[in-house]
Chains A and B, each alone.
Chain A
Amino acid sequence: MGEFVAVAMLALVLVGAVVRPRGLPEVAFALPAAIVVVVGGLLPLADAWNEVLRLFPVVAFLAAVLVISELCDADGLFRYAGALMAARSRGSGRRLLGYVFVLAAAVTAVLSLDATVVLLTPVVLATASGLGLRSRPHAYACAHLANAGSLLLPVSNLTNLLAMSAAGLSFVGFAGLMTLPWLAAIAIEYVAFRLFFAADLSLPATNSSRPEPPPVPRFSVAVLALTLAGFVVAPLFEVADAWVALAGAAVLLVRALRLRQVALREVTGFVNVGFLVFVLCLGVVVAAVVDGGLGTAIAMIVPQGSDLVTLLLWAFLAALLANLVNNLPAVLVLLPFAASTGAGPVLAVLIGVNVGPNLTYVGSLATLLWRRILHAHDQRAPLREFTMLGLLATPAAIVAAVVALWFSLLVAGGVG
């Protein structure tokens, strides 16, 4: 009975977050659900509190990274990137797609997928339409790379941050193992886009004027580089990466306030506190589900070992689950089981939950966010189109990324 209630609460949280009846925020369902599982005795209060304590630093870290990306945006970094793409692509849709792929993969990796969806998508749209090119392939590239391009660094995706500690990997260790899978997934996506959007991309630009790009926003680029370097060296001094992100955000914020790029009253609106609470509540509800009988059931069906076939099974199981219940719950459910069999399975799960959501329209919160951002654009046929593109790109991208992961683990001596 208790197990049934826990699963029902998880369903309530997910449906509430995706459907949003009456436009209520996601936390409006998650908080009551978390309270029900704790008050109902489905999860001991101490366990719930531990889950919150475990998740909070992770979510706070991501929030700091997002503040950095918002301040980079205010400093003109994204506008600069758009102008650079426009100048370099010389009016060719195919060339622009190449630059959009490079830029979206880089922004997703370094500034997290929310930055790609919210901050980069308008710039990409403006660039494409400014050149007189069809914007559809480039807009879709932002959505696909927000998912598939989020394999490289722990900060790229909330799922990665959740997994990093579970897998016992450092920032550098994570990036080292995930570089090849990241490149493999992006390469497959690129080929799929070139095939799928061949028609749109073959049309020539109808606007020949090429404005010169503005000067490089040196300050934010420098702070960004230093922050990344900080992520690498901070663990050597036993400093948590979240503090490095916070420091980077603080430096950018002081300058942005002094130059009046942002107003002080805007600062409180940088982070969606409701979503932060939502993630914590979701963690509690998922812990209650795993704690109950369902956890034993999952433990029986998950694959054992670390060979290539097992890694593929993990990745596809994770992809399937992500498309059924969304990526964040999927990773929270699978992590405890994957972590017990080693770093390889954890990273394979990440490939599944990060790349897999491109298959359907509801697979990840990033895709839902992207739909919201682009609601004016090509929204009538997209379900079919998005799914066709997903079917073409996603299974192949997952396989390629997992094979690359297997190879990386082999080289790193992690297999066997």
Chain B
Amino acid sequence: MRIVVWVCEGTWPACIDAAAELAGVSDAQIVLIHVRDDSPPPPGRPSLLGAARVTRAERENRQLTREAAERMLVRAEARLGRPAQLRLQDGAPERIVTAAAADADYLVVGRDGDRSRLGPQSLGRHTRFVIDHAPCRVLLVWPELAPDLGTIPPPPPIR
């Protein structure tokens, strides 16, 4: 069995727990993937601040986001409690994650939208794309406790 887990800030611990449960004691192969949204830099650094300082800030930010992503993947593997393949890529997250699930049996995805009002918006834009196009079974995970049935609004009145 091959399980791909999409690791994102905020939702990953629940996804990892779900993947661990899904894999159980089997010798499932688990891939933890995180994709950094990336594109070439826009031109221009219009500032009175020295160009060197601006470039340094750019580099710092690249480094910071990369380190944060690496840390997150390592912590995710530690939480999983078994070795996994870690993948950190730059590009369009929804497309890369969908492609990574091509030969998987399961794709584990966190529910990352606005969960204060349960409905279509409880899925983020990228997550929606991945669920719509995933080439395998998808396990959709609540980042915290699943809501009980009482949160469902009453049916609309019959006219």
Chain A residues within 8 Å of B, Cβ to Cβ: 17-20, 23, 26, 59, 62-63, 66, 70, 114, 117-119, 121-122, 125-126, 129-130, 132-135, 158, 198-200, 202-204, 206-207, 266, 269-272, 275-276, 278-279, 365, 368-369, 371-381
Contact = CB atoms under 8 A, between A and B. Distances in A.
B12 to A, nearest CB: 7
Contacts of A376: 36, 38, 61-62, 65-66, 90
B126 to A, nearest CB: 9
Interface of B: 9-13, 36-54, 57-58, 60-62, 64-68, 72, 75, 90, 92, 112-116, 121, 124-125, 143-144
Contacts of B67: 129
B46 A275 contact: yes
A375 B143 contact: no
A204 B46 CA distance: 36
Contact of A114 (B47, B52, B60): B47
27 contacts: A17-B44, A17-B46, A118-B54, A122-B60, A125-B61, A125-B65, A126-B64, A135-B65, A158-B48, A198-B116, A203-B10, A203-B143, A204-B144, A206-B12, A206-B13, A206-B72, A269-B53, A365-B47, A369-B45, A369-B47, A369-B54, A372-B41, A372-B43, A372-B45, A372-B58, A375-B41, A378-B37
A66 B10 contact: no
B9 A373 contact: no
Contact of B42 (A125, A130, A272, A371): A371
Which among A18, A118, A365, A378 has the greatest number of chain B C-beta atoms within 10 A? Answer: A118
A374 B38 CA distance: 10
A19 B113 CA distance: 35
B65 A133 contact: no
A114 B52 CA distance: 14
B52 to A, nearest CB: 4
A203 B9 contact: yes
B68 A372 contact: no
Contact of B58 (A23, A59, A272, A373): A373
Contacts of B48: 59, 62-63, 66, 114, 158, 271-272, 275-276, 279
Which among B36, B61, B124, B143 has the greatest number of chain A C-beta atoms within 10 A? Answer: B61
A381 B126 CA distance: 10
Contacts of A365: 46-47
B64 A125 contact: yes
B46 A368 contact: yes
Contacts of B60: 122
B85 to A, nearest CB: 21
Contact of A373 (B51, B54, B90, B121): B54
Contacts of A134: 9-10
B38 to A, nearest CB: 6
A333 B92 CA distance: 41
Which among B13, B41, B46, B121 has the greatest number of chain A C-beta atoms within 10 A? Answer: B46
Nearest to B110: A203
A158 B47 CA distance: 11
A277 B129 CA distance: 48
Given A26-B46, A62-B48, A206-B9, A379 B54 contact: no
Contacts of B42: 368, 371-372, 375, 379
Which among A119, A198, A206 has the greatest number of chain B C-beta atoms within 10 A? Answer: A206
Contacts of A373: 54, 57-58, 61
A134 B50 CA distance: 30
Nearest to B39: A379
B129 to A, nearest CB: 11
A380 B61 contact: no
Nearest to A374: B61
Contact of B9 (A133, A270, A372, A380): A133
B10 A122 contact: no
B125 to A, nearest CB: 7
A379 B47 contact: no
B98 to A, nearest CB: 15
Given A59-B48, A199-B115, A70 B53 contact: yes
A371 B13 CA distance: 31
Contacts of B62: 376
Given A373-B54, A379-B39, A380-B92, A132 B10 contact: yes
Contact of A377 (B11, B37, B75, B112): B37
